Amino acid sequence: MKYNKNHMEFLSKIWDRKNNQVLICPLCKGKMIVVQLEPIQDVENAYVPYDTIIECTHCDFKISAESFSILGSVKDFDLKYIQIASWSPSGSRVISRYEHILDYDLLKKLKESTELKEFLIVNKQVIQVIG
């Protein structure tokens, strides 16, 4: 199945399943992976967003999205939102607030450790902590 805008509604369904941060294909229940393609020009965004494909590793299902990542630490969070403390490209401290689908216990651990992590943000929602 080719991706198109109508499939964007699938995203929320995939991400509502809090299955250890694994994205699940709505068609075959296979694991989905995030593939970043070309950078997008976006003056509103301090970070570089990428055209992104989220594709199933088992069937042909794909969806298009926009993603970017932020290196930072968890400043605060609740069940719906996370605040990430990071640096803008000019080097000043920035607090960004996004919706997230991350595990509450994981966020609690990260906030206590104040460790720097890379947060993957797809369609303005934090979906994964990398590294």
Q: Which residues bind Zn ion (CB under 5 A)?
A: 25, 27-28, 30, 56, 58-59, 61
CB 97 within 8 A of CB 81: yes
- How much helix, strand and coil, in percent to the nearest 5, is found in the chain? 15, 45, 35
What is the smallest separation between the CB atom of 14 and Zn ion, expressed in angstroms? 11
Name which of 1 and 95 has its Cβ closer to Zn ion: 1
Q: Minimum CB separation from Zn ion for residue 66, in Å? A: 21
Output the CA angle 40-126-3, nearest 5 degrees: 55
Provide φ and ψ at 34, rounded to 5°: -100, 125
Encoding tokens for residue 80?
A: 């719906």
Question: Would you say 23 or 25 has its CB closer to Zn ion?
Answer: 25
Comparing CB distances to Zn ion, the nearer of 1 and 48 is 1
- How near is the Cβ of 59 to Zn ion at its closest, in Å? 3
